[in-house]
Amino acid sequence: MADLAALTAAVEAGNRADAVALTQAAIDDGTEPTEILDAMTTAMTEIGRRFACNDGVYVPEMLISAHAMKAGSELLEPLLVAGGHKPEYTAVIGTVQGDLHDIGKNLVGMMLKGANFAIVDLGTNVSPQAFADATKEHGAAIVGISALLTTTMVGMKDAVAALRAVDPKAKILVGGAPVTDEFAAEIGADGFAKDAATAANVAQELLAAAK
Amino acid sequence: MRHRDRVAMALAREEPDRCPMQISFTPEFADRLRADMVARGLLGTSSGELNVARGGEHNPHGGGNTYELERAIDSDLILTSVGWANNYYAGHGTYTDEWGVTWQEHPYQTRFGTGHYTEMVGFPLAEDSAIDSYVPPDPSRPELYLDSERVIREYGDEYWIVGVTVTTIFETAWALRGYERLLMDLVMNPELADRILEIPFRYHLAAAEKLTSMGVDMIWTGDDIGSQKGMLFAPATWRRFLKPRMAELVRRVKAINPDVKVAYHTDGDVRDVIPELIEIGIDILNPVQPACMDPAELKRNYGDRLLFWGSIDEQKTLPFGTPDDMRAEICRRVATIGAGGGLILGPTHHVQLDTPPENFWAMIDTIRETHYS
């Protein structure tokens, strides 16, 4: 019998070798791939909660847990694809045009992936058009736009406008050091996340509210 | 009152005529400010370049500047920098610094024109094995200190001279290794992390000692270890890797000159480690980011043991506020974190190109005109 609780613990502890071994063991004894994935998303939800509360999880621990989950997930991917399982939602993420900072955006991507979103990461310095094109192409339900600088965050407004023009339904989430909920509302974004863990929660809340 | 006496009084927790200030700029803001000051007759049209190197472009960290702007706006501190941080804004296009870090110029648009940042894109210690053959730059080269000699000689009688060795340990280390990689090393590969952190630490320690022996009034050290939601890494991680090194730096520069002040820079909310910064002998906390730490609360909790430098909001007030917002903020700071002295006012980062001139001048004029009773 697969020890999924141990897999959850391994991802939470950021123990990559154990996460891989336990994922493989669970696959080998015929556990449903979606159940194995759930064991890992449970860990990332807990990591997000502890990160948000400064409860022993800081950026390094979050990175390490996300890498452990990634290593386990790579074993699962082919099985999930073969079984016709795919994430319910896709999120397009990127750092706004003119801005090269990516750690916040990367952490958001990891937490969304940990919450079982498919992630299309457009990288940094992403133009409004590129956000719009990718959202249309992938049918993204969530678009996450990041900015670290006061000089670049104003460009989020153009990205929001370009996105609304191609897909009025996609939920747009903004975040990054200078961004506030007032600013998010002012530029017409749907949500604001003050940190990476919150981003995954806000994304899920926005989608639940839209159902 | 001489500028340096104003600073010395404030740092002795006395109220000088006004709160001392220190303001730095991004290169494009400096160019705009210079043009504005020339147009307003505050600077002669014959004024020369803003830096003795760099094609004349202003260096936000101080090294090589002519200090024409700093002096003209009545700044009380003069910065002279030796170390890796001088590589910010040090070139155009793509360039590789002497540490082997590759940088790329990156433009951005504001309503006041086009600015550029320089961002790190290549990391010489990205591979684990690279450290075995890595040779860091030599901090004992006499030419590194010629400009600091000039600054102390020309401005030391009048101004409070700051030897800048910021990005002392962690920030230069992650520039060598890559940000996410070093953050993970701290937890997963502590021995390698120690080896990498030692490289910039030894360099900047040597520079701080040399600048202290040359006679600077203050050493400005530190690394960004905070985010707006708290420490980037666990306080225990800071205690393991950074606290002992920073304690050594403070001890060594104070052994050279017991009167030298040590200012510690970190962005973010670092309240978890402030008592320990005090414990290792840090005199001054910079830049006190008001978006995530309440300056008045810090004064109440630590004002008897810690001095402050910064506290002017650069996320809302300077770029997006009004001159009235700016004036209100300065007055509030002087009355709270600045009460009874103990404060050097300054924005929490180099003034950015998105700052309207009326906000900039509201900041400068209010600081100059707000007198302690």
* Sequence-ordered list of residues with C-beta below 8 angstroms from that of B177, at least 6 positions apart, any chain: B123, B125, B126, B185, B196
Residue B52 pLDDT > 90, yes or no?
no
Q: Name the average pLDDT for chain B.
A: 96
Percentage of chain B beyond pLDDT 90 is 93
CB contact under 8 A, A177 and B228: yes
Residue B223 has pLDDT above 80, yes or no: yes
Q: Is the pLDDT of residue B373 over 90?
A: no
- Name the DSSP letter for residue A89: -
pLDDT of residue B48: 67
Give the B window 71-130 contacts with A, CB below 8 Å. Answer: 104, 106-110, 115, 117, 119
B chain contacts of residue A194, beta-carbon cutoff 8 Å: 228-229
Contact A58 B237 (CB under 8 A): yes
Residue B54 — very low, low, confident or very high, per pLDDT cuts 50/70/90?
confident
Distance CA A208, CA A193 (A): 16
pLDDT at B312 > cutoff 80: yes
Least confident residue range of B40-54, B183-197, B263-277 = B40-54
* Closest by Cα among A209, A206, A196 to A50: A196
pLDDT at A1: 66
Distances from the Cα of B224 to the Cαs of B104, B230, B309, B355, in angstroms?
21, 11, 15, 23
Taking CA atoms, what residue in A is nearest to B233? A58
Please give the Cα distance from A187 to A203 (Å, whole number). Answer: 18
pLDDT beneath 50: ranges in chain A: none
Dihedral of alpha carbons A181, A124, B88, B173, sign: positive
- Residue A56 at interface with chain B, using a CB cutoff of 8 Å: yes
| CB-CB neighbours of A5 under 10 Å | 11
Whether B62 has a pLDDT exceeding 70, the answer reads: yes
Report yes or no: B79 and B162 within 8 Å, Cβ to Cβ.
yes
- Cβ distance of A59 and B109 shorter than 8 Å: no
Asked if A63 lies within 8 A of B183 by C-beta distance, the reply is yes
Q: What's CA A44's distance to the chain center, in Å?
A: 11
- What is the pLDDT averaged over residues B265-278? 98
SS3 per-residue string spanning chain B: CCHHHHHHHHHCCCCCCECCECCCECHHHHHHHHHHHHHCCCCCCCCCCCECCHHHCCCCCCCCECCHHHHHCCCCEEEEECCHHHHCCCCCCEEECCCCCEEEEEEEEECCEEEEEEEEEECCCCCHHHHHHCCCCCCCCHHHHHHHHHHHHHHCCCCEEEEECCCCCHHHHHHHHCHHHHHHHHHHCHHHHHHHHHHHHHHHHHHHHHHHHHCCCEEEEECCCEECCEECCCHHHHHHHCHHHHHHHHHHHHHHCCCCEEEEECCCCCHHHHHHHHHCCCCEEECCCCCCCCHHHHHHHHCCCCEEEEEECCCCHHHHCCHHHHHHHHHHHHHCCCCCCCEEEEECCCECCCCCHHHHHHHHHHHHHCECC
Residues of B in contact with A17 (CB under 8 A): none
Dump pLDDT digits (tens) for B7-50: 999 999 999 999 999 999 999 999 999 999 999 888 876 566 88
Nearest to B352 among A52, A99, A151 (CB): A151
Phi/psi at A155 (nearest 5 deg)? -70, -15
Positions of E strands within A135-181: 142-146, 171-175
Average the pLDDT over B115-126 and give the result: 96
Q: Quick one: average pLDDT of B219-230? A: 97
Does B297 have pLDDT greater than 80? yes
Q: How far away is chain A from the Cα of B364, in angstroms, using its nearest Cα?
A: 21
Q: In whole angstroms, what is the distance from residue B34 CA to residue B318 CA? A: 18
| Lookup: tokens for B3 | 């500028």
Residue with tokens 């194995």: A36
| A:163-202 residues touching chain B, CB 8 A cutoff | 177-178, 180, 194-195
The pLDDT, as a whole number, for residue B53 is 83
Q: Cα–Cα distance between B173 and B233 in angstroms, integer?
A: 15
Q: Which residue of A has its CA nearest to B319?
A: A150
For residue B56, pLDDT beyond 90: no
pLDDT at A113: 93
The per-residue pLDDT for range A23-82, each reduced to its tens digit, is 999 999 999 999 999 999 999 999 999 999 989 999 999 999 999 999 999 999 999 999
* pLDDT above 80 (res B120): yes
Confidence of residue B279 (pLDDT cuts 50, 70, 90): very high
In a mutagenesis test of the B interface, which of A18, A49, A51, A58 is the best target, namely the one with the most B β-carbons within 10 Å?
A58
Residue B165's pLDDT band, with cuts at 50, 70 and 90, is very high
- Among B117, B234, B291, beta carbon nearest to A56: B234
Cβ proximity of B271 and B307 under 8 Å? no
- Confidence at residue A95, expressed as pLDDT on a 0 to 100 scale: 97
